[in-house]
Amino acid sequence: MNKKLLAVMMIVSVIFTVSLILVILQMKAPDKRIAEVLQDGTVLYTIDLNSAENQTIRIDAKSGSYNIITIENGEIYISDAGCPDHICMKTGILKSENVPIVCLPNKLVIRFR
């Protein structure tokens, strides 16, 4: 192996490692665990997950559909939905500021504030 190829491989390895570390840091749960529930751009609930009691919240959409939001052990997720695809349920627990839970048919978003 010549020196130029070795240098290029080292630079690529460093860039890859730094990128991986940045992605992992972005995906970690935020220190502030305040979740917002929005429907059609309007904040319906602001929930401090550090102190919230276990509960379920039903949110009805104008279309006649619904979402059941579950808060359990300091975590929030959609446990049931009347939308046809259930992508919001498949998203699982809200873990990152960068990846909200979204139900497009019901215009619902759950995100960290």
Entry pTM:
0.71
pLDDT given for residue 48 in this prediction:
93
Q: Can you say how many angstroms the Cα of residue 72 is from the centroid of all Cα atoms in its chain?
A: 16
Q: What is residue 81's predicted lDDT score, i.e. its pLDDT?
A: 94
**Residue 96 confidence (pLDDT):** 81
Q: How far is CA 90 from CA 33, 61, 66, 79, 111, in A?
A: 21, 19, 16, 9, 15
The tens-digit pLDDT sequence of the chain (113 residues) is 688 898 999 999 999 999 998 888 777 655 668 999 999 999 999 999 988 999 999 999 988 899 999 999 999 999 999 998 999 999 999 988 888 999 999 999 999 98
